[in-house]
Amino acid sequence: MTAVTKPAGKPARPYFSSGPCAKPPGYSPDRIATESLGRSHRAKIGKARLQYCLDLMREVLGLPDTHRIGIVPGSDTGAFEMAMWTMLGARGVTALAWESFGEGWVTDAVKQLQLEPKVMRADYGQLPDLDRIDWADDVLFTWNGTTSGVRVPDGEWIPDDRIGLSFADSTSAVFAYDIPWDKIDVATFSWQKVLGGEGGHGVLILGPRAVERLESHTPSWPLPKVFRLTKGGKLVEGVFKGETINTPSMLAVEDAIFALEWAQSVGGLAGLQARCNANAEALDKIVHERDWLSHLAVDRGIRSKTSVCLLVEGADADFIKKFARLLEDEGAAYDIAGYRDAPPGLRIWCGATVDTADIEALGPWLDWAYAAAKAG
């Protein structure tokens, strides 16, 4: 292999994975509160810490009082499937799919729930025609497609007078964009994305129309215990007051609390969004300065500001593996190969827990890896 000169400096925190994502700046395990560890989540301290976590999420998100928020099992996947299993079947379903996770919800609707959804697809890097959606249906979509680098432009395409419910998989979107909560009946996310928290736990947000559906609709299929949100035809309110359905990891909860308190320290939602925007702009500058690098999502209006997906000129899957491995071996960038189902390319997380200086320092290393991989 022909020798290629390595850049002099490296990103201080080369963590660019799109999930689990970089921990907040200044994070250390010894900075996590430990009083609740080893205690029952049903004890006074456990309930208090779970409620505090819920309160912090509500405050940072700017979630209105009309919407309930609860911690549920199974990360974002568990939260979204809980919503599907408990609320779908009352009317028609439209499922939007422009990346792998949206396709996963299609599979659930078709093969597991045996519904017959209208499926609106688009290739990676694009969106389906949002104006063609029939809102007499319940509508499933991802706000920000983590594996495609494509997001919906805003919430204007969701009508106020919709008949069906809007189900938004928002795991790479919350804390990074302004979510119009009046347009959202169901939202789900997990802590390991923009907050840089730990995995395994999901968050379920329900608007009043979703609660009405839960209390008026009985699904025709069996519901596992971890999915049950009603009892006797009424919402189990405890789920949204820190009384989780199953035993949570209090270590993960304390980790999330640390991230949320950090979020408050940088200006709350506006501060998190500013950090995301700065990171995305820094990466965009890197892309524009290199003719061998381009965005998978060409349209800036629908391009993700968190999970930014890039194409490398002439690269196939093997080239990308070599490219990413070279950077990992040097400790210059970890986990930047694109998702396995996406077109071969790079995926660089630009969420709020990443420092802009590290994005800027990454540019020369991308040049080095590209040249080194081409040299063989």
Q: Are 189 and 174 in contact (CB under 8 A)?
A: yes
Tokens of 53: 């976590």
Whether 295 has a pLDDT exceeding 90, the answer reads yes
As a dihedral over the C-alpha atoms of residue 42, residue 259, residue 186, residue 209, rounded to 10 degrees, the angle is 70
Three-state secondary structure call for residue 81: helix
pTM assigned to the model? 0.97
Whether 1 has a pLDDT exceeding 80, the answer reads no
Whether 9 has a pLDDT exceeding 90, the answer reads yes
Phi first, then psi: what are they for 260, rounded to 5°?
A: -70, -40
Whether 138 has a pLDDT exceeding 90, the answer reads yes
Tokens of 297: 């999502």
Same fold, 29-263 and 268-375: no
Structural domain spans, the chain: 29-263, 268-375
Average pLDDT rounded to a whole number, residues 366-371: 97
Whether 267 has a pLDDT exceeding 90, the answer reads yes
The fold adopted by the segment(s) 268-375 is: Aspartate Aminotransferase, domain 1 (3.90.1150)
Pairing of strands 93-97, 118-121: parallel
The fold adopted by the segment(s) 29-263 is: Aspartate Aminotransferase; domain 2 (3.40.640)
pLDDT of residue 3: 64
Whether 374 has a pLDDT exceeding 80, the answer reads yes
Q: Model confidence at 124, in pLDDT bands (50, 70, 90)? A: very high
Cis peptide leading into 20, omega within 30 of 0? yes
Average pLDDT rounded to a whole number, residues 200-220: 97
pLDDT of residue 157: 98
User: Of 296, 347, 308, whose CA–CA distance to 324 is shortest?
Assistant: 347
Whether 301 has a pLDDT exceeding 50, the answer reads yes
As a dihedral over the C-alpha atoms of residue 260, residue 261, residue 264, residue 266, rounded to 10 degrees, the angle is -100
